[in-house]
Chain A
Amino acid sequence: MKIGLEIHVSLPTKSKLFCSCSNSATEPNSAICEVCMGLPGSKPVLNKGALTVAKRVAEALNMKINERTSFVRKVYFYPDLPKSYQITQLDEPIGTNGHLDIDGKQIHLRRIQLEEDPAKLVRGDDYTLIDFNRSGKPLVEIITEPDIASEDELRSFIAELRSILYYCDIEINEEMKTDLNISGIDSENGERVEVKNITGIAGLTGALRYEITRQSELARKGAKVERETRSYNEAEMRTVSMRKKESDEEYGLIYDADLTEYDLSKVKIEKPIIASRVAHEYASKYGFDPKILLELIMLSKESLLLIDASKGKYPAQAITAGIEYLKKYDKINISKDSFNSLLNLVEKKGMVNKETLEKIEKGEKVESYSGISDEELERTIESMINEKSILLNEYEKNKKVFNFIVGKVAKEKNLDPRYVSEKLNKVLSEKFGLV
């Protein structure tokens, strides 16, 4: 099976791609002007901020970045397209020939291009409304080679892409629009099928699954998979045929002479952060679990800053536990100093809860148990079990008793309950022969 993707993601610039209208207005048709409405006499002016973001994404995707970039007009007639052409790129896109690495496999990326979003159509029963706020919003289109071979690879690819875009300040969850190309589900019998306009990540996997089933079914019946364009109906979780494809669509693309060539080599960008690369590097250098670390740094950019500031100074487990506490109590915006105090507490196996975190945030001293040795703690637990020997019989029936002991010891000694439960397990198996 060969899967190729054309992924459109919105760029987080302040204004639209070719005018100064806001890129984040919500009230319909409130951020519009003569340029994004395509009124006669208006001319586009490129938002250079979009070049910066797009170049950074291209760099992060290991693309060969073009020195000069230019735009073309793609002509087609549709009510959401006020000029009846979309400004996009052809011969000189932002970048070409990139790749992403997933589970030791390279997915090749053909190109990344900058283009404008059409307006949004809102369908009613017997009418359609148009919201031109979306008209002219900046998009990048990322086009892959058909290198993805399974649903698992598709998931890994999207996860990797998502983490890269996230560190370029781009979020792709619901808004991402994808065209999916699939061929060869059943050996070489069958043409390429394109599924257009899939929204979101869940939609993408849904559309793929439906196509795999549909095309396998056709193959089983001995029918041929025809070359066609389909669309995905998210509510029904199935794809439907839009048109049989005899040849490629005719857009008559020509150079847009309202815009000039732009020198990309002069566009300054911050070095992109590749989250998975950071995770692997930190794993080998500082002993993190790369999977867990990747999850943590995808939580928020702040978590990476905190990890960065503490790596090497504290053990990986303590840092991981610290971030998890912050996530649990929604304190990920904590300062680096406070995070260090937290790690100090975690290291001493102290109790961390909302109360202690708030104290840490305020810079107050947190009373934490310190100085108890492993042996001492084990003895405390053992004597507690002996004291309440009845409970021991109960233990086999009731897990609550276990939690009771952990809670009591943790509270009395101001200790991390996880540490206490670890020791309790040890005592139970070693001294009482219970597993």
Chain B
Amino acid sequence: MSSINEFYSKEKKESYYETLVKELSSLNKELNAFSTINESINSGYPFSAKDNICVKGFESTASSRILAGYKPAFSATSINKLLSKDFGFLGKTVMDEFGFGSFGVNCETPARNPFNPEYVAGGSSSGAAVAASIMKYHLAIAESTGGSISTPAAFCGVVGFTPTYGTVSRYGLIDYANSLDKIGIISRYAEDIREAFSVIRGEDPLDSTSVGKVPEEKRKDKIIILKEAMEHAEEKVRSSFAGLIGKLENMGYRVEEKSFEPISKAVSIYYIISMAEASTNLAKYTGFKYGYQGEDFTKGYNAFFTEARNKFGEETKRRIILGTFVRGTSVKSKYYGKALRARALIIDGMNKLLGDGYILTPTMPITTPKFTEVKELTPLQSYASDILTIPPNLCGFPHISFPYDYVGGMPLGAQLVSSHFNDNAVIGFAEQWEKQFEYKFRYNLGSL
């Protein structure tokens, strides 16, 4: 029985939600998973929304100071769908500002890893992964552009599902990169994700890129390991992953190693496209009508918005500057144009590769780092750590990250990828995995 059905079937005290809110608020002081906790929740299966997903009347800032105080007058379609069923809104979760980060540190109060608060939670859906990890019954609605669901799910020991691009409406999502952004789900178990996905998916007249195609479940018995992916993984990850391969072979999967050289270019392609799109999406923040409000109206418009745009964090400024550069007239064909063409080639190549199997990689090439370690990384080193999560995101393929091992008390995650619209097959794979592997959690808030 899924946690969702278990929750509905169990008797709950009248004070259930009150207690949950109290315990959560207290733990949140240590872990910073939530930016807002909805104290008036009083029914439904508790879910949270990443702070870049609009919930009517609740501050939605994408963890950016420039959006401080922005309370949207409308909710994201995915949120409305959950609210129309028996789900209750518990709060907004912390993230890297606008989704810009792999470790959850690019914001004012970064979420901390529930297994050990000295470690990062992963990003950018940091708070969402922590939320799923610390509560017995919880759905964290998250979003991934280049790995923002898989990465924190892996670091926090939960299941993170990123659907085929377009299957979940983006309406109400504060954009990072429109051709890459996907709303997905982080939860403790894949079978809860299956249920939640069936609620939030579907064509939406308010999102032109949404598609109504019913997800497929074409199960495969072949698993493809990418040679280049393994070369990038550190030794600890590689040896642990070898153990996973052994288990999967015992479960009856055929494992094949294949080479896909273009994958080494995926990081560059991804960052060029995502930064170019992000720099246009972030142009609207001028301190004018919502969020941070400029006060000195005697200035010229340029001086006025320049003052407001100082509120952006360092990584955000970096991406706006790089993104503006790569789409500039004199270099556009060299960077942005070439990246678009290369993206098409990668999609084509990966599609062929996926023909009759799944692709399986470690979710991250590294084990969970400490905050102090992340501080030492240059931006390029940070970007490079996305090498395994970027390819499926760049292609819009459905993928799922699931915990498969614990090393030094910290969880490790692996990521399974399939072809477009075969979403229920990757969910089904993780369901099969979790039937014979016991996930570990440090907290169990709201248990019954």
Contacts and interface: CB of A to CB of B under 8 A. Distances in A.
A168 B177 CA distance: 38
Q: Which of B67, B205, B284 has the most CB of A within 10 A?
A: B284
Given A85-B280, A254-B276, A259-B208, 20 more contacts: A34-B72, A39-B72, A39-B73, A40-B54, A40-B60, A40-B72, A40-B174, A40-B175, A40-B290, A45-B207, A45-B208, A75-B280, A77-B286, A82-B289, A83-B283, A252-B327, A252-B329, A254-B327, A255-B340, A258-B208
A254 B329 contact: no
Contacts of A41: 53-54, 60, 72, 74, 76, 171-174
Contact of B328 (A44, A252, A255, A259): A252
Interface in A21-39: 34, 37-39
Nearest to A38: B284
Interface residues of B, number: 45
Contacts of B302: 77
A258 B277 CA distance: 10
Nearest to B288: A79
Contacts of A252: 276, 279-280, 324, 327-329, 332
Interface in B273-301: 276-277, 279-280, 283-284, 286, 288-291, 301
B54 A254 contact: no
A21 B327 CA distance: 32
22 contacts: A34-B74, A39-B72, A39-B73, A39-B290, A40-B72, A40-B174, A40-B284, A40-B290, A42-B171, A43-B171, A75-B280, A82-B289, A84-B284, A85-B284, A248-B329, A253-B327, A254-B336, A255-B179, A257-B177, A257-B209, A257-B277, A258-B208
A45 B205 contact: yes
Contacts of B305: 77
B206 interface: yes
B54 A84 contact: no
Contact of B209 (A37, A255, A258): A258
Interface of A: 34, 37-46, 73, 75, 77-79, 82-85, 248, 250, 252-260
Contacts of B329: 248, 250, 252
A40 B70 contact: yes
Contact of A43 (B67, B207, B283): B207
Nearest to A82: B284
Majority secondary structure, B binding face: loop
Contacts of A43: 170-171, 206-208
A44 B302 CA distance: 26
A40 B70 CA distance: 9
Contacts of B276: 252, 254
Contact of A75 (B205, B283, B336): B283
Contacts of B60: 40-41
Contact of A77 (B72, B73, B283, B328): B283
B178 interface: yes
A130 to B, nearest CB: 9
Contacts of B172: 41
Contacts of A257: 177-179, 209, 277
A32 to B, nearest CB: 11
Contacts, number: 100
A356 B177 CA distance: 69
B206 A40 contact: no
A84 B72 contact: no
Interface of B: 53-54, 60, 62, 67, 70, 72-74, 76, 170-175, 177-179, 205-209, 276-277, 279-280, 283-284, 286, 288-291, 301-302, 305, 324, 327-329, 332, 336, 340
Given A40-B54, A43-B207, A82-B289, A256 B178 contact: yes
B283 A46 contact: no
- Ranked 4 nearest A-B pairs via Cβ: A84-B283, A257-B179, A257-B178, A41-B54
A261 to B, nearest CB: 10
Contacts of A258: 175, 178, 207-209
Contacts of B327: 252-254
Given A252-B324, A257-B179, A79 B301 contact: yes
Contacts of A259: 208-209
Among A43, A75, A260, the one with the most B-chain Cβ atoms within 10 Å of its Cβ is A43
B72, B173, B208 — most chain A CB neighbours (10 Å):
B208
Contacts of B173: 41
Nearest to A132: B289
A245 B237 CA distance: 57
Contacts of B177: 257
A10 to B, nearest CB: 23
A73 B280 CA distance: 8
B286 to A, nearest CB: 6
Contacts of B62: 40
A160 to B, nearest CB: 34
Residue among B301, B302, B327 facing the most chain A CB atoms (10 A cut-off): B327
Contacts of A45: 205-208
Nearest to B179: A257
Most buried by B among A41, A78, A259, A260: A41
A85 B280 CA distance: 7
A400 B73 CA distance: 74
A78 B283 CA distance: 11
Contacts of B74: 34, 41-42
Nearest to B171: A43
B124 to A, nearest CB: 16
Contacts of B179: 255, 257
A79 B305 CA distance: 10
A77 B301 contact: yes
B336 A40 contact: no
A361 to B, nearest CB: 47
A250 B170 CA distance: 29
Contacts of A256: 178
A287 to B, nearest CB: 53
Contacts of B277: 254, 257
Contacts of B174: 40-41
A379 B206 CA distance: 80
A239 B221 CA distance: 73
Most buried by A among B76, B177, B178: B178
A118 to B, nearest CB: 13
Contacts of B289: 37, 39, 82
A44 B324 CA distance: 22
A243 to B, nearest CB: 14
Given A77-B302, A84-B283, A85-B283, A40 B328 contact: no
